[in-house]
Amino acid sequence: MSFDINELQLDDTPIEGLAEAAENWAEQPEFPPAIKPGKHQAAITVQEAQVVDSVIKLVLDLECKGGDEDGERLTFQRVSSKMFQKRDGSYTSQLLDMIMSSGLEGTPKSNKDLMEMVKHIQDTAKLVNFQSDLGTWCKNCASVAMLDVTGAQTEEEAKATLTAMEPEAYKAAYKEIRTKAEKNRNHRSIPLGPNGRHVDEVECKDCGATLRVNANISRWLRPSTGTTGVI
Protein backbone atom coordinates (compact mmCIF):
# COMPACT_ATOMS: atom_id res chain seq x y z
CA MET A 1 0.00 0.00 0.00
CA SER A 2 1.41 3.37 -1.01
CA PHE A 3 0.72 6.49 0.97
CA ASP A 4 1.34 10.22 0.81
CA ILE A 5 2.97 11.62 3.96
CA ASN A 6 1.60 15.08 3.20
CA GLU A 7 -1.98 13.80 3.29
CA LEU A 8 -1.46 12.64 6.89
CA GLN A 9 -1.00 16.25 8.02
CA LEU A 10 1.91 15.40 10.30
CA ASP A 11 3.89 17.94 12.30
CA ASP A 12 7.28 18.00 14.02
CA THR A 13 5.98 18.09 17.60
CA PRO A 14 8.38 15.89 19.65
CA ILE A 15 6.86 12.76 21.17
CA GLU A 16 7.91 12.41 24.77
CA GLY A 17 10.36 9.53 25.25
CA LEU A 18 10.50 8.54 21.56
CA ALA A 19 14.10 9.64 20.86
CA GLU A 20 15.39 7.97 24.05
CA ALA A 21 13.49 4.77 23.24
CA ALA A 22 15.00 4.70 19.73
CA GLU A 23 18.55 5.32 21.00
CA ASN A 24 18.27 2.60 23.64
CA TRP A 25 16.32 0.09 21.56
CA ALA A 26 17.28 -3.56 21.90
CA GLU A 27 15.70 -6.80 20.74
CA GLN A 28 13.27 -8.17 23.30
CA PRO A 29 14.93 -11.14 25.01
CA GLU A 30 13.19 -14.48 25.30
CA PHE A 31 12.67 -15.86 28.76
CA PRO A 32 16.04 -17.27 29.80
CA PRO A 33 16.31 -20.90 30.96
CA ALA A 34 15.94 -21.36 34.69
CA ILE A 35 19.16 -21.10 36.67
CA LYS A 36 20.25 -24.11 38.70
CA PRO A 37 18.69 -24.29 42.15
CA GLY A 38 21.25 -23.33 44.77
CA LYS A 39 23.06 -20.37 46.31
CA HIS A 40 24.10 -17.52 44.06
CA GLN A 41 25.44 -13.99 43.91
CA ALA A 42 24.05 -11.54 41.37
CA ALA A 43 23.89 -7.94 40.22
CA ILE A 44 20.41 -6.40 40.14
CA THR A 45 18.57 -4.20 37.66
CA VAL A 46 15.31 -2.54 38.69
CA GLN A 47 12.83 -2.89 35.82
CA GLU A 48 9.80 -1.41 37.56
CA ALA A 49 9.32 0.64 40.73
CA GLN A 50 6.13 1.95 42.26
CA VAL A 51 4.69 2.88 45.65
CA VAL A 52 1.19 1.64 46.50
CA ASP A 53 -0.34 2.58 49.86
CA SER A 54 3.13 3.49 51.16
CA VAL A 55 4.52 0.08 50.11
CA ILE A 56 7.40 -0.04 47.60
CA LYS A 57 6.91 -2.67 44.90
CA LEU A 58 9.84 -3.55 42.64
CA VAL A 59 10.33 -5.87 39.69
CA LEU A 60 13.95 -6.98 39.42
CA ASP A 61 16.19 -8.75 36.94
CA LEU A 62 19.26 -10.44 38.40
CA GLU A 63 22.42 -11.52 36.56
CA CYS A 64 24.49 -14.20 38.26
CA LYS A 65 28.17 -13.46 38.72
CA GLY A 66 30.84 -16.18 38.87
CA GLY A 67 30.57 -19.95 39.06
CA ASP A 68 28.74 -22.24 36.64
CA GLU A 69 25.82 -19.83 36.28
CA ASP A 70 27.93 -16.76 35.48
CA GLY A 71 25.97 -14.48 33.17
CA GLU A 72 22.70 -16.39 33.55
CA ARG A 73 19.64 -14.29 34.39
CA LEU A 74 16.74 -14.53 36.79
CA THR A 75 14.01 -12.18 35.58
CA PHE A 76 10.79 -10.59 36.78
CA GLN A 77 11.40 -11.14 40.48
CA ARG A 78 9.00 -9.15 42.64
CA VAL A 79 9.95 -7.73 46.03
CA SER A 80 8.09 -5.32 48.28
CA SER A 81 8.72 -3.30 51.40
CA LYS A 82 5.63 -4.67 53.17
CA MET A 83 6.69 -5.68 56.66
CA PHE A 84 5.90 -9.14 58.02
CA GLN A 85 6.67 -11.05 61.19
CA LYS A 86 9.13 -13.93 61.10
CA ARG A 87 8.88 -17.09 63.16
CA ASP A 88 11.24 -15.70 65.79
CA GLY A 89 8.97 -12.70 66.32
CA SER A 90 11.17 -10.14 64.57
CA TYR A 91 10.03 -8.12 61.56
CA THR A 92 11.45 -7.71 58.08
CA SER A 93 10.39 -7.27 54.44
CA GLN A 94 11.46 -8.81 51.15
CA LEU A 95 13.12 -5.54 50.16
CA LEU A 96 15.00 -5.23 53.44
CA ASP A 97 16.18 -8.84 53.13
CA MET A 98 17.50 -8.14 49.64
CA ILE A 99 19.35 -5.02 50.77
CA MET A 100 20.90 -6.78 53.75
CA SER A 101 22.01 -9.67 51.52
CA SER A 102 24.32 -7.24 49.71
CA GLY A 103 26.26 -6.40 52.87
CA LEU A 104 25.47 -2.71 52.43
CA GLU A 105 25.80 -0.95 55.76
CA GLY A 106 23.18 1.44 57.04
CA THR A 107 19.88 1.56 58.92
CA PRO A 108 16.98 2.59 56.67
CA LYS A 109 14.14 4.42 58.38
CA SER A 110 11.93 5.39 55.44
CA ASN A 111 10.96 4.43 51.90
CA LYS A 112 13.36 7.08 50.64
CA ASP A 113 16.20 5.44 52.59
CA LEU A 114 15.30 2.04 51.17
CA MET A 115 15.26 3.25 47.56
CA GLU A 116 18.52 5.15 47.96
CA MET A 117 20.11 1.90 49.13
CA VAL A 118 18.59 -0.03 46.22
CA LYS A 119 19.90 2.57 43.78
CA HIS A 120 23.37 2.33 45.31
CA ILE A 121 23.35 -1.47 45.02
CA GLN A 122 22.30 -1.26 41.38
CA ASP A 123 24.56 1.62 40.33
CA THR A 124 27.69 0.20 41.97
CA ALA A 125 26.95 -3.39 40.82
CA LYS A 126 27.09 -4.55 44.43
CA LEU A 127 26.15 -8.22 44.56
CA VAL A 128 23.17 -9.63 46.41
CA ASN A 129 23.13 -13.16 47.81
CA PHE A 130 20.22 -15.56 47.51
CA GLN A 131 19.09 -19.15 47.30
CA SER A 132 17.00 -20.15 44.30
CA ASP A 133 14.63 -23.00 43.63
CA LEU A 134 12.38 -24.15 40.79
CA GLY A 135 8.62 -24.34 40.47
CA THR A 136 5.68 -24.41 38.08
CA TRP A 137 2.31 -22.67 38.02
CA CYS A 138 -0.70 -23.76 35.96
CA LYS A 139 -2.74 -20.80 34.73
CA ASN A 140 -5.58 -23.09 33.66
CA CYS A 141 -5.93 -24.64 37.10
CA ALA A 142 -5.54 -21.25 38.75
CA SER A 143 -8.40 -19.88 36.66
CA VAL A 144 -10.68 -22.79 37.55
CA ALA A 145 -9.79 -22.49 41.25
CA MET A 146 -10.42 -18.73 41.20
CA LEU A 147 -13.93 -19.25 39.79
CA ASP A 148 -14.64 -21.99 42.35
CA VAL A 149 -13.44 -19.90 45.29
CA THR A 150 -15.37 -16.77 44.34
CA GLY A 151 -18.45 -18.33 42.73
CA ALA A 152 -17.97 -15.99 39.78
CA GLN A 153 -18.82 -16.79 36.16
CA THR A 154 -15.85 -15.02 34.55
CA GLU A 155 -12.25 -14.27 35.48
CA GLU A 156 -12.99 -10.54 35.50
CA GLU A 157 -15.79 -11.05 38.02
CA ALA A 158 -13.58 -13.35 40.10
CA LYS A 159 -10.74 -10.81 40.20
CA ALA A 160 -13.16 -8.08 41.25
CA THR A 161 -14.56 -10.30 44.01
CA LEU A 162 -11.07 -11.11 45.29
CA THR A 163 -10.09 -7.43 45.27
CA ALA A 164 -13.15 -6.55 47.36
CA MET A 165 -12.46 -9.21 50.02
CA GLU A 166 -11.31 -8.40 53.52
CA PRO A 167 -7.59 -9.18 54.09
CA GLU A 168 -8.15 -12.44 55.99
CA ALA A 169 -10.72 -13.72 53.49
CA TYR A 170 -8.44 -12.79 50.59
CA LYS A 171 -5.53 -14.60 52.23
CA ALA A 172 -7.59 -17.78 52.65
CA ALA A 173 -8.89 -17.59 49.07
CA TYR A 174 -5.45 -17.03 47.59
CA LYS A 175 -4.07 -19.96 49.61
CA GLU A 176 -6.70 -22.26 48.11
CA ILE A 177 -6.01 -20.99 44.58
CA ARG A 178 -2.28 -21.38 45.06
CA THR A 179 -2.68 -24.93 46.37
CA LYS A 180 -4.45 -25.95 43.15
CA ALA A 181 -2.29 -23.94 40.74
CA GLU A 182 1.17 -24.65 42.13
CA LYS A 183 2.14 -28.00 40.62
CA ASN A 184 5.84 -28.26 41.44
CA ARG A 185 6.90 -26.47 44.60
CA ASN A 186 10.62 -27.21 44.38
CA HIS A 187 13.27 -28.77 42.16
CA ARG A 188 12.92 -32.21 43.74
CA SER A 189 9.68 -32.85 41.85
CA ILE A 190 11.06 -31.72 38.48
CA PRO A 191 12.90 -34.33 36.37
CA LEU A 192 16.41 -33.92 34.99
CA GLY A 193 17.05 -33.73 31.27
CA PRO A 194 19.78 -35.50 29.24
CA ASN A 195 22.20 -32.65 29.94
CA GLY A 196 21.95 -33.13 33.69
CA ARG A 197 19.94 -29.95 34.23
CA HIS A 198 16.27 -29.80 35.15
CA VAL A 199 13.94 -29.79 32.16
CA ASP A 200 12.44 -26.48 30.97
CA GLU A 201 8.87 -27.75 30.68
CA VAL A 202 6.63 -30.30 32.39
CA GLU A 203 3.04 -31.42 31.89
CA CYS A 204 0.33 -30.44 34.37
CA LYS A 205 -0.77 -33.64 36.06
CA ASP A 206 -4.36 -32.35 36.36
CA CYS A 207 -5.21 -30.61 33.06
CA GLY A 208 -2.37 -31.69 30.75
CA ALA A 209 -1.20 -28.17 29.97
CA THR A 210 2.49 -27.55 29.24
CA LEU A 211 4.04 -25.68 32.16
CA ARG A 212 7.25 -23.67 32.01
CA VAL A 213 9.73 -24.38 34.80
CA ASN A 214 10.60 -21.09 36.49
CA ALA A 215 13.38 -20.17 38.87
CA ASN A 216 12.47 -18.19 41.95
CA ILE A 217 14.20 -16.75 44.99
CA SER A 218 13.42 -18.89 48.00
CA ARG A 219 15.38 -16.75 50.50
CA TRP A 220 17.95 -13.99 50.74
CA LEU A 221 21.27 -14.88 52.37
CA ARG A 222 23.92 -13.13 54.39
CA PRO A 223 26.84 -12.03 52.21
CA SER A 224 29.78 -14.40 52.11
CA THR A 225 33.06 -12.50 52.22
CA GLY A 226 35.33 -13.21 49.25
CA THR A 227 32.79 -15.38 47.48
CA THR A 228 31.58 -14.82 43.92
CA GLY A 229 28.96 -16.69 41.96
CA VAL A 230 27.45 -19.87 43.33
CA ILE A 231 28.24 -20.08 47.03
Instruction: With cut-offs at 50, 70 and 90, classify the pLDDT of residue 12.
Output: confident
What is the per-residue pLDDT across 137-183, written as a single tens digit (0 to 9) for each? 999 999 999 999 999 999 999 999 999 999 899 999 999 999 999 99
Backbone angles phi, psi at 7, to 5 degrees: -70, -20
Q: How far is CA 35 from CA 28, 74, 82, 185, in A?
A: 20, 7, 27, 16
> pTM of the entire structure?
0.76
Average pLDDT on 10-18 reads: 84
What is the per-residue pLDDT across 59-80, written as a single tens digit (0 to 9) for each? 999 999 998 899 999 999 999 9
Q: Where exactly are the structural domains of the chain?
A: 38-133, 135-216
Residue 142, pLDDT score = 96
Q: Where are the alpha helices (DSSP H) in 78-186?
A: 94-101, 111-123, 139-150, 155-164, 167-181
What is the Cα 179 distance to its own chain's centre? 19
Residue 25, pLDDT score = 83
Beta strand spans in the chain (E): 38-52, 55-64, 73-80, 84-85, 91-92, 128-137, 182-184, 201-203, 210-212, 214-220
Alpha carbons 190 and 174: distance in angstroms, whole number: 24
CA angle 17, 121, 124 (to 5 degrees): 80
What is the per-residue pLDDT across 198-217, written as a single tens digit (0 to 9) for each? 999 999 999 999 999 999 99
